[in-house]
């Protein structure tokens, strides 16, 4: 069993729809990373959070440390949000989930 | 501000040839440095990390090696590339444990 599980693996949405990606992990952690990988391969760090909720533009990340679960929400999705979203828990090194491939259609 | 440079962006190499990928970080000192690989259709995998000059930890046995000759320079090498070394290689850094990691633009390596 992977230490970090993401769902769904693939997601297709229409422009404007609300998107939720889930991440569950099996070990106690101090912080969780949400990353965005663009079609060209480049990776951008979206959030690092250890409790509660963070918001940046149309992106919202939440985490429940006790339940070992985090979610990434995209509000009013847009085709430029199409990417692979990866959660990873953070210690001395990152342990990654398998990623969620998001396609937002116009 | 801190920046991370990784080159080359793409590389095509024959089987059995050597490899050297370079990563440098600017605007910080004594960063933690990381090399990741993403093979086709697979997730990210940590290959090496370094917490200081000359200190390299290897996560998986493989055909690759890493070196840190200077504080802000991290090099990924191979003496003889295998077909299975194809993939997308990412360098990353952070200031220390439990800090966000910042990624380079990546190198797409194709082995023929």
Residue B6 φ then ψ, to 5°:
-135, 135
Nearest to B86 by CA among B24, B42, B33: B42
Does A38 contact chain B (CB < 8 Å)? no
Tokens of A36: 């965005």
Q: Which residues of B touch A (CB under 8 A)?
A: 32, 34, 38, 43-46, 49, 51, 59, 88, 90, 92, 97-103, 105-106, 108
Tell me which chain A residues have a C-beta less than 8 angstroms from the C-beta of B100. 33, 45, 48, 90
pLDDT score of A1 more than 60: no
Which residue reads 């050597």 in tokens?
B18
Residues A45-54 have pLDDT tens digits of 899 888 999 9
- pLDDT tens over chain B, length 112 residues: 779 999 999 999 999 999 999 999 999 999 999 999 988 777 788 899 999 999 999 887 678 999 999 999 999 999 999 999 999 999 999 887 767 788 998 999 999 9
DSSP classification of residue B39 = -
DSSP classification of residue B62 = -
Residue to test with chain A: of B6, B11, B33, B43, most A Cβ within 10 A: B43
Contacts of A67 (CB under 8 A, 6+ apart): none
Residue to test with chain B: of A93, A96, A98, most B Cβ within 10 A: A93
Residues B29-38 have pLDDT tens digits of 999 999 999 8
Residue to test with chain B: of A2, A37, A44, A94, most B Cβ within 10 A: A94
Residues A22-50 have pLDDT tens digits of 999 988 777 889 999 988 778 888 998 88
How many residue pairs bridge chain A and chain B with CB atoms within 8 Å of each other? 52
- Indicate the residue of A33, A93, A96 with minimum beta-carbon distance to B43: A96
Does A86 contact chain B (CB < 8 Å)? yes
- As a whole number of angstroms, the distance between CA A33 and CA A96 comes to 9
- As a whole number of angstroms, the distance between CA A46 and CA A57 comes to 11
């Amino acid at each position: 069993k992977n230490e970090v599980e993401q769902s769904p693996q693939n997601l297709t949405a229409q422009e404007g729809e609300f998107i939720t990606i889930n991440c569950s992990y099996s070990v106690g952690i101090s912080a969780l990373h949400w990353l965005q990988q663009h079609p060209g391969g480049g990776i951008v760090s979206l959030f690092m959070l250890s409790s509660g909720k963070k918001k940046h533009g149309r992106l919202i990340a939440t985490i429940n440390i006790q339940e070992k679960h985090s979610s990434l929400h995209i509000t009013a999705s847009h085709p430029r949000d199409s990417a692979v979203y990866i959660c990873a828990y953070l210690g001395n090194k990152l342990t990654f989930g398998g990623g969620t491939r998001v396609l937002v259609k116009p | 501000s801190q920046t991370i440079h990784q080159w080359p962006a793409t590389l095509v190499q024959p089987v059995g040839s050597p490899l050297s990928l370079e990563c440098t970080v600017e605007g910080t000192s004594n960063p933690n440095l990381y090399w990741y690989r993403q093979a086709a259709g697979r997730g990210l995998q940590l290959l090496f990390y370094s917490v200081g000059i000359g200190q390299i930890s290897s996560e998986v046995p493989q055909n690759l090696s890493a070196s840190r000759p200077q504080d802000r320079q991290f090099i990924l090498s191979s003496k003889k590339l295998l077909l299975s070394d194809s993939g997308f290689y990412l360098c990353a850094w952070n200031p220390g444990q439990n800090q966000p990691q910042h990624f380079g633009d990546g190198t797409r390596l194709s082995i023929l």
